Structure formats: C-alpha cells, structure tokens
C-alpha cells in the first residue's frame, strides 16, 4: 500500500486528567503492513494514547481516522468491531474464568444460541498454538503465572483478525523463547498487511522488530522516524530529553566470599512448586536467579518469604534455622520481597504515593514508633526524585500513576525499609532505562551496606551486571551456580541448555 | 500454585453435604421426618423463595444487589388477585401481564442505576419502597382468589405426575415452575454469552470492559431478569396462598440473599451458581422443618441458625477464593 494512505491517522489528540496533561496534541500515522514502536519514559503517555484510541477513555480533542473514516469508539467493544484489537498494559483478564473462556469470551461460537464449549476450547488451543504454547486451557487464569496470563491476553488479541493490532508492553514478563514466538507471529501478520503498534521498554526488541519509531515525552510528540534512521543513542536521547549517563560499573561482592552467609537454603522442596533447591546468599552480595519461565524462580522466592511453606529441606538465616510461617515472620527478620504481580500483591491502589512508599518502613517500626509526617514526606520525596517517579505530587493516589511509575513506587517501598535481605522478583519490568540504572545503583548501595539481595530477572544482561553470583534453575531444580569472573549471558544460556 | 476450578466449587459441595447431613439427622431423630409428605411440603413451601433466589443469583453474580425482590413479589400477588377477582381477567392473562410488569420494573431500576451511575443498593432500596407502596395502592388488604381455574387447573390438574410407585408421584405446578426456572437459569448462566458476561462483569468489571464486553447491556439484563424472577416468584407465592397480599414477603429478599450466599456465591460477584442457591434454599427450608418438628422450639431459632450459617459461609469463601 502506498505510504500516503495510512491505516491509522491521529491528529492533535489531547487528553488531560485534572491538572495532568497526559497527551498534548499528538500526531501519529501507522501504515498497514508495518510495525510501529511507541516509545517513551514511564508516564510519557503511551498507554493513555492507546486507551484513547480504543475508547477506554474519551479523548478531549483531536481527530482519528481509521482506514480513512473517522474513528471515535465509545468503548473497546466498538473499537474491536471497527477492526482494532489491543493487549492492554497489565490489565488482567477475568481471574476466575478458565484460560479457554478468557480467550473466547464475547466471541464464542454458538449452536442454537448456546455456547459450544468444545469449540471454544479447541479455538483457544489453536490461538495458543500460534504462540507455540500447549497448556491446559481448562485451568483457571488467576492461578497461572504472570507470563502465562500475558500470553493468554496476547492470544486473545490475536484471535480476531484485526487490521490494527496494539500491544502495550506485551513482552514485559516474557522470556526469550516466548518473545521470539510472538515476534514471528507479529512479522507474519505484518506481511499479511496488518498494522501493529508496539510498546516496550526493551530497546533491542524495537531494533529487532519495528519498522518505525515514534517517541513521546511528557505527553508530547518528540520524533517519528524509520528505525534505521534513529540509532540507539539518539532514541535514548529523544526519550530522556538529554544524553544518558554512562552505565555504572558492574557490581562485585563487598564482603569476602567465605564470610558466614546471610541465608543458606538446602534441599528445599514443595509439591507442584520446587523439586530441589540449594541456595546461598552471602552478606553484601547480590545473587541472581536465572531460568526459563516456569523454572521455579518465583516459587523459590515465595518460600523464602514465608508465603508458601517448604515441605522439605531447611533454611538458615544468620546461621539459625529459619522457618517462616507467613510473610510477617520474614519481614520481622528483615526480609523484603517485591512481588512479581504488583497489581494483586503489591500496591494499595487507593493510598497515596507517599503512603505506599512508607508502608513497609512503618510496618517494621510498629505502631508505637510512628514516622512523623515530616520524615514520611522526606522519604517519599527522596525516592520520587531518585527513581524519577512521575506523579503530580506525593499525595496523588498511586492508581493514577502509569504502570512503570507504580512499579517504581513499589520498589521504593522496600528500598526505603532498608532490609537485610531484599528479594526482587522481576523488579524492572516495565521500567524505563533511566530508572533501571538508578535501581541498579540503589541495589549497589544496599549491598555496600552489608545487605544481601536475591535478584530474579528474565533479562540476563541485567542479572550479569547486578550480581556477583548467579544460581540457575531448570525444571524446578537448582542446577548450578556461576560466579563472578566468568559470568555472562552466554554462560547462563549454556548452563540451561547443557543440563538435560 | 495452581488453582483449579475445583477449589471454588468447594462451598457448593459443603452446602450439598449439609443438606444431606441435616436431612439424615432429621430422619434419625424424628420418626416421620423421612417421608414423602415432608419432602413434598419442603418443596412446595419453598418454591417461591427458590424462584426469588434465582433472580438474586444473577444480580449477586454480577456484583450488584437487588433489595426490591420481596416488594415486587407482594405487588405481583395483589395485582394478580385484583385483576382476576375484581376486573375479570383470565388468570393466564393476569399472570402474563404481572410478569411483564415485574420485568419492566427491574429494567427501569437498571436504567436508573446506569444513567445516573448510582449504587444498586440505593436504587433498589427506593424500588423496594415504591413497589410496596404500589402494592397497597392496588388494593389495601389481602384478597382471596376463588377463580375456579386457579384452584382446579393451576393447582390441581396441571401438576406433573411422575409414573413412580402405585399412585404416581405428583409434583405441584408451583414446584415445576421453580424447577424450570432453576434449570433455565443454569443453562443461561453456563451456556450463553449473557451468562458468561454476568460472571465476567462480577469478577473484574474493568477487565471485562477492556475485553470488549457489553457491560451496560449485561447489567440491564441482570436487573430485568431479577425483576422477572421476582414477579414469577410472586405468581408462585399467589398460587401457594390462593390469595394476594400487599403486606406479604416483607424482607424476603434477605432470605433470598442468604440462600445465595449459603449456596456458595460470592457477594462480591463472579463466583457461584444457581444450583448452589437452590441448595441454599433447600437448606434453609430443612432447618425450618426441623425447628417445626421439634415443636417446643421457637421458630425464631431458624433465623439464628441461618445467621450463623451465613457467617460460616462468608468465612469459608474468604478461605477458598482470593
Ligand atoms: N486515571 C488517571 N488519573 C490521573 N492521571 C492519570 C490517569 N491515567 C494516567 N494518568 C497520568 O497520565 C500520564 C501518562 O500515563 P500513561 O499511563 O499513559 O504512561 P505510559 O507512557 O504508558 O507509562 P509506562 O511506561 O509507565 O506504562 C501519567 O503521568 C499518569 O500519571
Ligand atoms: Mg503504559
């Protein structure tokens, strides 16, 4: 199709939330048969733009043409009927319904007015198979891992033949293999003439996949270019509005390796969760947990934090046996966990940013030694500034923040509590590059103060940078440990592949 | 940690087991408890509550509440009685008309809730007063129905006779209506888009909206269905009493809600079943029967037992659903 007839054409679209200008006169053209990256820091307005396009929120002004006709859907239902399909950023589907139902809901094929459940299951299996997945489609969605839930949402969006497919951070919880499968599907769709808008904070994915890039900053349009004309440094500069600082040096252990470990777990196991795990976390060091999806990384973290109780093996903390019955026990001993699923396990949506940040610190101090308001304000302000949390003020309800900014506030909560052992489960998911560096340096600060860190991430480069040891999990067992000189992404991948 | 769908059916299993247990206990303690007559009365006495609970199940599954059920039942019953006895309507025509009025009343409540974004609790509270007042406007006191069609055809000849035993087993029409309503609701909830949307909206409304489901239509349907069921429950109640009464069924919506909760439906919405609600109604009925059999117990004991049951089930649900 000629470049002068775009599939989607957005002109001076604007949206405010109270005093916050989320989108300020945005222009965007998406051609059919192309993949268009929408980039920008946390809070730049990417998700808001998508929500406006889909009619999930009403825009304040501007025009949108889809296939040459005006497009102003009153709700996502209308947008879908018009030929748009979206994976929204981390909104869950329906937790207490099965995977199959979540994929087919609202589009079930019917016989004599009744839903054909067998057909629905078959259709769901086909939709998942396109992403290379064969899973039990009858299991309840809410019990699936975040990554799987994300894949189900993608499968749902792919299950209609939309002419414009919008994906808001679809790969944030996926590891390499799933991402590769997804990209293969997206390239195929592009070749069939589908227009695709793709949002991510992973720059390498943009350069792998996308034909064109649009950068937003603070709700305004900064630049739109073909990918090959916008090299990485310029892209980063456009997103940040300045040239980035050089990345910090990689971390080394602050304590001698043979010092008594902070935590030692041996032979941990639990049915349907972990078969066998050995793990040692020294003082003043960051230990990484690497492994594929479903290898048991989060499950191991849950046991250390007292959410699930191990059915075998033992945990020692500071040389003493430690068997936490609940997260409260773990918190009392100075352990902190930033959970994988922040929506259901993390943020308290109706509390302000400040209240969310001081929550853990306050809890550790107990009700009697409460933090003065001035201390709370100082702590909140410090983390808002250090992590660049984009919020109108510290009293804004956290639920009005963009996805990445909520994640930053949640991290701030545990960093502020100054834990002895910090467990980070995919902490940088959906976080922009500026903040990632700041988080790495905060982790370094904790380590230098003698704390231990357990770092779970699907991003191997990040693990290699932040950790001095990496424990590799496969099929719910720890299969080895890699140590500081000799840590690289290749070594981790080799370790996973070598262990049959 | 895999959560299979079985985990959330546990409350349903518990209710079913309780029904069995209470029945067996009754049979062991009271010699004439396990008789056909007792079972038959149990069904007949609770048919109208069962129909009301069907409507309440829809509303509660969708995450809302309907407080107008009892008043709409009373309105229906006195409307039926007046139409038949004082205006010479044929009972079938009167029944059809009354059910339509009930549905329209529910739809109107739904429209108001949607249009002004008001909580269902408040709008149906207003509806409760309006329907009750309306019932007294139609006719200020109870009115017996002597129309031969009601006595002979509806209450006698239209009974279903199952070819079991020497004399056959007779199931009165009002029980048939209740069973039909339950079966229809079960099919709608499990096998139609509307039904699945009800669950989705109740479980995660924001997600359902973004998934492109028609939230508005779903909510309107739910309130219409509740209105229809309330009216149908009113019809069953009228057949049962052979009279219309504007003061009847006070607080019956609360019994219906209790039955729904005891049947394993989450008050927050999204989880539950109409089968559960029917078992809930049975359990309430059984407890009432036991209290009656005991003879020396004050019948208010039923309420106390029901209260503790509701508490126990709310606790059970907290344990098994997150
Ligand atoms: N419902 C709301 N009420 C108030 N402000 C809001 C609301 N939704 C979004 N905002 C604000 O609009 C701005 C843009 O948010 P948006 O979610 O679009 O960012 P984003 O680019 O998607 O960021 P991220 O990369 O973190 O997902 C943010 O400052 C956010 O706080
Ligand atoms: Mg976003």
Nearest residue to A212 (alpha-carbon basis) of A242, A243, A190: A190
Out of A240, A269, A294, pick the residue that ends a domain.
A240
Which carries the bigger pLDDT value, residue A374 or residue B229? B229
Interval between CA A86 and ligand 2 midpoint (Å): 13
Q: Locate A24 and state its tokens.
A: 């300020």
Nearest residue to B246 (alpha-carbon basis) of B255, B254, B237: B237
Comparing alpha-carbon positions, the chain B residue that sits nearest to A270 is B1
Q: So where are chain B's domains?
A: 12-321
d(CA B205, CA A88): 14
Interchain pair A101, B196: CB under 8 A: yes
Nearest residue to B153 (alpha-carbon basis) of B206, B104, B95: B95
β-pair type (A274-281, A84-87): unpaired
Please tell me if residue B199 touches chain A, with a CB cutoff of 8 Å.
yes
β-pair type (A35-39, A195-199): parallel
**Residue A122 is assigned to a structural domain of this protein:** yes
Q: What rounded mean pLDDT belongs to chain A?
A: 86
Chain Cα centroid distance, residue A88: 13
Which of B185, B205, B210, B269 to mutate against chain A (most A CBs within 10 Å)?
A: B210
Instruction: Note the ligand closest to the C-alpha atom of A22.
Output: 1
Same domain as A153, residue A30: yes
Same domain as A358, residue A421: yes
Q: Is the pLDDT of residue A416 over 50?
A: yes
Tens of pLDDT, residue by residue over A329-355, are 888 888 888 877 666 667 777 888 898
Same domain as A236, residue A307: no
DSSP state, residue A311: S
Rounded to whole angstroms, what are the CA distances from A399 to A13, A201, B219? 23, 21, 25
DSSP state, residue B150: I
Check: CB of residue A428 under 8 Å from CB of residue A304: no
Interchain pair B4, A97: CB under 8 A: no
Residue-level pLDDT at A19: 82
Q: Is the pLDDT of residue A463 over 90?
A: no
Tens of pLDDT, residue by residue over B34-88, are 888 888 899 999 999 999 999 999 999 999 999 999 999 999 999 999 999 999 9
Residue-level pLDDT at B1: 36
Q: Is the pLDDT of residue A263 over 50?
A: yes
Please tell me if residue A88 touches chain B, with a CB cutoff of 8 Å.
yes
Is residue B148 very low, low, confident or very high in pLDDT (cuts 50, 70, 90)?
confident
Q: Is the pLDDT of residue B262 over 50?
A: yes
Please tell me if residue B321 touches chain A, with a CB cutoff of 8 Å.
yes
**Residue A16 is assigned to a structural domain of this protein:** yes
Tens of pLDDT, residue by residue over A378-393, are 888 888 888 888 888 8
**Residue A249 is assigned to a structural domain of this protein:** no
What value does the mean pLDDT take over residues B288-314? Answer: 84
Same domain as A232, residue A279: no
Residues in the ligand 1 pocket, defined by CB under 6 Å: A 17, 20, 22, 40, 42-48, 89, 390, 400-405, 430
Residues of B in contact with A273 (CB under 8 A): 1
Tens of pLDDT, residue by residue over A112-156, are 889 999 999 999 999 999 888 899 999 999 888 888 888 999 999
Q: What is the CATH number of the domain that holds A135?
A: 3.40.50.300
Q: Is the pLDDT of residue B299 over 80?
A: no
**Residue A152 is assigned to a structural domain of this protein:** yes
Interval between CA A23 and ligand 1 midpoint (Å): 9
B104-126 in b/e burial notation, b at 16+ Cβ within 10 A? ebbbbbbbbbbeeeeebeebbee
Same domain as A40, residue A160: yes
Please tell me if residue B214 touches chain A, with a CB cutoff of 8 Å.
yes
Mutate to test the pocket of ligand 1, among A13, A16, A17 (most ligand atoms within 8 A of CB): A17
Task: Give the structural domain span for A269.
Answer: 261-497
d(CA A317, CA A136): 38
Same domain as A458, residue A326: yes
Instruction: Note the ligand closest to the C-alpha atom of A393.
Output: 1
Q: Is the pLDDT of residue B320 over 70?
A: no
Rounded to whole angstroms, what are the CA distances from B65 to A5, A274, B83, B279, B312? 51, 43, 30, 20, 21
Q: Is the pLDDT of residue A249 over 70?
A: no
> Rounded to the nearest 5°, which phi and psi values hold at A287?
-110, 130
d(CA A345, CA B167): 62
Q: Is the pLDDT of residue B2 over 50?
A: no
**Residue A486 is assigned to a structural domain of this protein:** yes
Tokens 């999930």 found at: A56
d(CA A387, CA A374): 20
Rounded to whole angstroms, what are the CA distances from A170 to A213, B77, B208, B218? 17, 56, 18, 29
Helix/strand/coil (H/E/C) assignment for every residue in A116-152: CHHHHHHHHHHHHHCCCCCCCCCCEHHHCCHHHHHHH
> How many beta carbons lie within 10 A of that of residue A384, not counting itself?
21
Same domain as A457, residue A356: yes
Residue-level pLDDT at A254: 47
**Residue A250 is assigned to a structural domain of this protein:** no
B4-28 in b/e burial notation, b at 16+ Cβ within 10 A? eeeebbebbebbbebbeebbeebee
Same domain as A420, residue A279: yes
Is residue A308 very low, low, confident or very high in pLDDT (cuts 50, 70, 90)?
confident
Interval between CA A42 and ligand 1 midpoint (Å): 8
Nearest residue to A322 (alpha-carbon basis) of A361, A284, A277, A268: A268
Interval between CA A105 and ligand 2 midpoint (Å): 24
**Residue A169 is assigned to a structural domain of this protein:** yes
In this structure, the residue with its CA closest to atom 25 of ligand 1 is A42
Q: Is the pLDDT of residue B3 over 60?
A: no
Tokens 């080895």 found at: A480
Worst-scoring range by mean pLDDT, A225-239, A444-458, B162-176, B281-295?
B162-176
Check: CB of residue B200 under 8 Å from CB of residue A91: no
Residue-level pLDDT at A473: 85
d(CA B57, CA B269): 9
Please list the residues that pair with A161 across neighbouring strands: none
**pTM assigned to the model:** 0.84
Chain Cα centroid distance, residue A23: 23
Tell me how many domains chain A contains.
2
Q: Is the pLDDT of residue A196 over 80?
A: yes
CATH code of domain B12-321: 1.10.3470
* pLDDT-above-70 percentage for chain A: 93
Please tell me if residue A119 touches chain B, with a CB cutoff of 8 Å.
no
d(CA B296, CA B291): 8
Residue-level pLDDT at B161: 76
Edge to edge, what strands does the sheet with A61-66 contain?
A20-30, A8-17, A61-66, A69-70
| Ramachandran area for residue A199 (φ above 0: left; ψ -120 to 50: alpha; else beta) | beta
Comparing alpha-carbon positions, the chain B residue that sits nearest to A91 is B207
Chain Cα centroid distance, residue B201: 21
Nearest residue to B262 (alpha-carbon basis) of B278, B249, B246: B278
Residue-level pLDDT at B46: 95
Ligand 2 (ion): residues with CB under 5 Å are: A 46-47, 89, 402-403
> Helices marked H in A333-371 — which ranges?
342-345, 353-365
Please tell me if residue A110 touches chain B, with a CB cutoff of 8 Å.
yes
DSSP SS3 for B318: helix
**Residue A103 is assigned to a structural domain of this protein:** yes
Same domain as A218, residue A89: yes
Same domain as A217, residue A285: no
Chain Cα centroid distance, residue A446: 23
Same domain as A236, residue A272: no
Tens of pLDDT, residue by residue over B4-49, are 455 667 778 889 999 999 999 999 988 888 888 888 899 999 999 9
Residues of B in contact with A272 (CB under 8 A): 1-2
What value does the mean pLDDT take over residues B294-304? Answer: 80
> What distance in Å separates residue B178's CA from the closest CA in chain A?
22
Interval between CA A265 and ligand 1 midpoint (Å): 41
Helices and strands: H and E segment counts in chain B = 13, 4
Residues of A in contact with B206 (CB under 8 A): 91
Is residue A1 very low, low, confident or very high in pLDDT (cuts 50, 70, 90)?
very low
Mutate to test the pocket of ligand 1, among A23, A48, A343 (most ligand atoms within 8 A of CB): A48
Same domain as A228, residue A324: no
Q: Is the pLDDT of residue A107 over 80?
A: yes
What DSSP line would sit under B252-287, residue for residue? Answer: HHHHHHHHHHHTT--TTSS---HHHHHHHHHHHHHH
Is residue A8 very low, low, confident or very high in pLDDT (cuts 50, 70, 90)?
very high
Q: Is A197 exposed, middle or buried (0-12, 13-18, 19+ CB in 10 A)?
A: buried
In this structure, the residue with its CA closest to atom 31 of ligand 1 is A401
């Amino acid at each position: 199709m000629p470049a002068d007839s775009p599939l989607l054409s957005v002109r001076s679209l604007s949206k405010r939330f109270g005093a916050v200008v989320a989108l300020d006169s945005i222009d965007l053209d998406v051609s059919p048969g192309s993949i268009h990256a929408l980039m920008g820091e946390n809070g730049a307005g990417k998700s808001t733009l998508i929500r406006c396009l889909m009619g999930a929120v009403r825009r304040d002004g501007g025009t949108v043409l889809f296939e040459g006709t005006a497009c102003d859907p009153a709700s996502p239902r209308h947008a879908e009927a018009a030929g748009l399909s979206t994976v929204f950023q981390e909104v869950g589907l329906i937790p207490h319904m099965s995977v199959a139902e979540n994929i087919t809901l609202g589009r079930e094929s019917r016989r004599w007015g009744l839903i054909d459940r067998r057909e629905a299951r078959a259709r769901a299996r086909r939709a998942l198979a396109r992403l290379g997945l064969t899973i039990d489609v009858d299991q309840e969605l809410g019990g699936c891992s975040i990554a799987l839930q994300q894949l189900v949402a993608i499968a749902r969006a792919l299950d209609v033949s939309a002419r414009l497919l919008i994906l808001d951070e679809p790969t944030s919880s996926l590891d390499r293999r799933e991402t590769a499968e997804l990209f293969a599907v997206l390239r195929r769709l592009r070749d069939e003439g589908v227009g695709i808008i793709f949002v991510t904070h992973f720059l390498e994915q943009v350069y792998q996949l996308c034909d064109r890039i649009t950068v937003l900053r603070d709700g305004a349009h900064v630049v739109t270019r073909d990918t090959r004309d916008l090299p990485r440094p310029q892209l980063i500069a456009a997103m940040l509005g300045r040239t980035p600082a050089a990345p910090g040096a990689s971390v080394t252990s602050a304590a001698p390796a043979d010092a008594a470990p902070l935590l030692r777990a041996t032979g941990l196991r639990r049915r349907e969760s972990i078969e066998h795990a050995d793990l040692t976390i020294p003082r003043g060091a960051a230990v990484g947990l690497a492994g594929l999806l479903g290898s048991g990384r989060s499950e191991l973290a849950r046991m250390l934090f007292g959410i699930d109780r191990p059915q075998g093996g033992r945990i020692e903390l500071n040389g003493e046996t430690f068997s936490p019955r609940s997260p409260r026990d773990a918190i009392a001993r100075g352990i902190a966990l930033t959970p994988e699923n922040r929506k259901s396990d993390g943020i308290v949506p109706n509390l302000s940013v400040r209240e969310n940040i001081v929550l853990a610190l306050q809890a550790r101090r107990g009700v009697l030694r409460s933090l003065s308001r001035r201390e709370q304000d100082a702590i909140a302000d410090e983390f808002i500034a250090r992590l660049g949390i984009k919020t109108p003020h510290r009293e804004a309800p956290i639920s009005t923040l963009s996805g990445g900014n909520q994640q930053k506030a949640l991290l701030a909560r545990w960093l502020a509590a100054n834990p002895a052992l910090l467990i980070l489960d995919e902490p940088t998911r959906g976080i922009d590059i500026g903040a990632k560096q700041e988080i790495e340096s905060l982790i370094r600060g904790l380590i230098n103060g003698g704390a231990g860190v357990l770092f779970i991430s699907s991003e191997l480069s990040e693990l290699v940078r932040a950790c001095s040891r990496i424990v590799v999990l496969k099929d719910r067992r720890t299969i080895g440990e890699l140590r500081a000189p000799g840590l690289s992404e290749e070594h981790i991948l080799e370790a996973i592949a070598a262990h049959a | 940690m895999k959560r299979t769908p079985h985990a959330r059916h546990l409350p349903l299993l518990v209710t079913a087991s309780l029904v069995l247990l209470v029945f067996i206990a009754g049979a062991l303690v009271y010699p004439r408890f396990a008789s056909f007559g007792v079972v038959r009365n149990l069904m007949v006495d609770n048919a109208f509550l069962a129909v009301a609970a069907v409507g309440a199940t829809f509303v509660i599954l969708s995450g809302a509440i309907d407080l107008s059920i009892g008043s709409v039942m009373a309105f229906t019953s006195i409307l039926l009685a007046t139409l038949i006895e004082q205006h010479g309507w044929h009972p079938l025509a009167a029944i059809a008309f009354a059910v339509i009025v009930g549905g329209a009343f529910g739809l109107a409540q739904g429209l108001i809730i949607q249009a002004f974004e008001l909580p269902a609790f408040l709008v149906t509270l207003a509806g409760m007063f309006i329907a009750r007042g309306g019932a007294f406007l139609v006719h200020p006191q109870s009115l017996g129905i002597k129309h031969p069609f009601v006595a002979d055809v509806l209450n006698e000849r239209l009974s279903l006779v199952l070819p079991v035993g020497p004399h056959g087993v007779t199931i009165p029409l009002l029980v048939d209506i209740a069973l039909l309503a339950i079966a229809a609701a079960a099919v709608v909830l499990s096998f139609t888009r509307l039904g699945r949307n009800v669950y989705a909206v109740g479980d995660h409304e924001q997600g359902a909206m973004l998934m492109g489901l028609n939230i508005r239509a779903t909510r309107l349907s739910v309130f219409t269905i509740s209105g229809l069921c309330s009216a149908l429950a009113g019809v069953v109640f009228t057949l049962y009493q052979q009279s219309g009464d504007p003061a009847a069924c006070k607080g019956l919506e609360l019994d219906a809600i209790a039955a729904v909760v005891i049947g394993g439906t989450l008050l927050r919405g999204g989880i539950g079943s109409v089968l559960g609600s029917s078992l809930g109604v049975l359990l309430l009925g059984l407890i009432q029967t036991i209290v009656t059999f005991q003879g020396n117990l004050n019948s208010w004991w039923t309420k106390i037992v029901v209260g503790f049951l509701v508490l126990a089930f709310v606790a059970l649900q907290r344990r098994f659903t997150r």
